[in-house]
Amino acid sequence: MSMKELIEQAAKTGPAPVALGETVPEGETQICLFKETEIRKICHHDEWWYSVVDIVGILSRTTDPRRYWPDLKRKLIEESGSDQLLEGVEQLKMPGKDGKMYLTDCANAETIFRVVQSIPSPNAEPFKKWLARTAYERILEFQNPEIAIKRAIASYKLQGRDDEWIRSRLQTVVSRNELTSEWQDRGIQKGVEYALLTDAISMGTFGKTTKQHKEYKSLGKNHSLRDHMNGLELVLTMLGEEATKEIARKTDAQGFVPNKEAAKSGGAVAGQARKSIELQTRKPVVSRENFLPDKGSQKSLPEGE
């Protein structure tokens, strides 16, 4: 069965219950599971690209997939007489088990499908079906983000989150999307500038950058901070972003520097609210708690390659 036929089959059976929480930005990495084994994936050109080494390790059952994959690449080139099969493989930055980012061979579903066909494995057929389902999910989400939101709600409920937390989490999705849209209209570049403005809001709100906030909660680089915030943290995050957006509009901020000032001011508004809450409750708003499962159930990622 071809990749196209498998995706069509996935469309008939419907998407698997995997939540993304919000529209996935370019370059975001996530972890997905195939038979309880972790596979790294990254959003690239509005589709999922997967770590080839992770997949090769599962299918070949080798103890050293980083060595097996180069050998397999050479074999594929020799057998086909060209490297056409590997033209769809790109090196993208993904996290290793040490938390650092490494350039890693990645490919989209179509290329992975062809690689899988070259590896004799009892897992090949079920993996092809799994791959088609995950690829189809991304197609649906790109066409209709509401589908991702509905799956997010179902996923959060399965994780034991209450309705109030879920409502706050989804409101932060709307708030964030509106803010980044405003930034884009005001000449802010995606990537580094977005991150710097986000940190400016975070510093004003919580007295911590996003990285520091993650470290405080013992989260890794590939974890979504907002998925591990408590209810007050979510509400204050949204307040900081809404205030930033309104201040940018009021001052007609154009370019990075004026928008950074707006971000600082917006964060300060939320920061004052946080301090008032802490004064009344006599306890810090920012919590070390997260929603990660027990460490014993965490599986290690492959070393960076």
> Which pLDDT belongs to residue 149?
67
Looking at the chain, the whole-number percentage of residues with pLDDT higher than 90 is 39
At 94, phi and psi to the nearest 5?
A: -135, 155
How does residue 300 score in pLDDT terms, banded at 50, 70 and 90? very low
> Which pLDDT belongs to residue 179?
94
Least confident of 53-67, 163-177, 185-199, 258-272: 53-67
Q: Is residue 154 in a domain? A: no
Structure tokens at 101: 């980012």
Summarize pLDDT for 195-205 with one digit per residue, the tens. Answer: 999 999 999 99
Of 97 and 50, the one with more pLDDT: 50
Q: How far apart are the first and last CA of the chain?
A: 32
Report which DSSP code applies to 36.
Answer: T
Residues 168, 112: one domain? Answer: no
Question: In whole angstroms, how far apart are CA 93 and each of 116, 148, 213?
Answer: 22, 24, 22
> Which pLDDT belongs to residue 91?
92
Interatomic CA distance for residues 202 and 194, integer angstroms:
12
Q: Is residue 149 in a domain? A: no
> Which pLDDT belongs to residue 129?
79
Query: Among 112, 144, 176, where does a domain finish?
Result: 144
What total of structural domains would you count in the chain? 2
Q: Is residue 298 in a domain? A: no
Query: Among 96, 113, 144, where does a domain finish?
Result: 144
**At residue 245, does pLDDT exceed 90?**
yes
Residues 132, 168: one domain? Answer: no
Residues 200, 109: one domain? Answer: no
Least confident of 101-105, 135-139, 176-180, 247-251: 135-139
Q: Is residue 297 in a domain? A: no
Residues 101, 32: one domain? Answer: yes
User: Do residues 151 and 15 lie in contact, with contact meaning Cβ atoms separated by under 8 Å?
Assistant: yes
How does residue 24 score in pLDDT terms, banded at 50, 70 and 90? low
Q: What is the mean pLDDT of the chain?
A: 81
At 28, phi and psi to the nearest 5?
A: -75, 135
| CA count, 13 A, side-chain hemisphere, 188 | 28
Average pLDDT for residues 119-135, to the nearest whole number?
A: 77
> Which pLDDT belongs to residue 229?
94
- Residue 26 domain boundaries: 3-144
How does residue 3 score in pLDDT terms, banded at 50, 70 and 90? very low
User: Do residues 56 and 67 lie in contact, with contact meaning Cβ atoms separated by under 8 Å?
Assistant: no
Q: Is residue 134 in a domain? A: yes
Residues 49, 129: one domain? Answer: yes
Q: What is the DSSP track for 236-305? A: HHHHHHHHHHHHHHHHT--SHHHHHHHHHHHHHHHHHHHHHHHHHHSS-SS-S---PPPGGGPPPPPPP-
At 110, phi and psi to the nearest 5?
A: -65, -45
**At residue 141, does pLDDT exceed 60?**
no
Q: Is residue 51 in a domain? A: yes
> Which pLDDT belongs to residue 294?
58
**At residue 43, does pLDDT exceed 90?**
no
Question: In whole angstroms, how far apart are CA 212 and each of 219, 220, 259?
Answer: 10, 11, 22
> Which pLDDT belongs to residue 303?
36
Q: Is residue 304 in a domain? A: no
How does residue 146 score in pLDDT terms, banded at 50, 70 and 90? low
User: What residues does 194 pair with on adjacent strands?
Assistant: none
Q: Is residue 117 in a domain? A: yes
Q: What's the whole-model pTM score?
A: 0.56
Summarize pLDDT for 158-173 with one digit per residue, the tens. Answer: 778 888 998 898 888 8
Summarize pLDDT for 57-69 with one digit per residue, the tens. Answer: 888 877 788 888 8
Average pLDDT for residues 49-64, to the nearest whole number?
A: 86
Question: In whole angstroms, how far apart are CA 106 and each of 1, 87, 118, 189?
Answer: 23, 11, 16, 25
Query: Among 84, 119, 144, where does a domain finish?
Result: 144
Residues 122, 194: one domain? Answer: no
How does residue 305 score in pLDDT terms, banded at 50, 70 and 90? very low
Select from 54, 52, 41, 35 the least CA-distant residue to 138: 41
**At residue 298, does pLDDT exceed 80?**
no
Residues 179, 263: one domain? Answer: yes
Amino acid at 215: E
Residues 88, 209: one domain? Answer: no
Residues 136, 171: one domain? Answer: no
- Compute how many other C-beta atoms are within 10 angstroms of the C-beta atom of residue 81: 7
Helix (H, G, I), strand (E, B) or coil at 86: helix
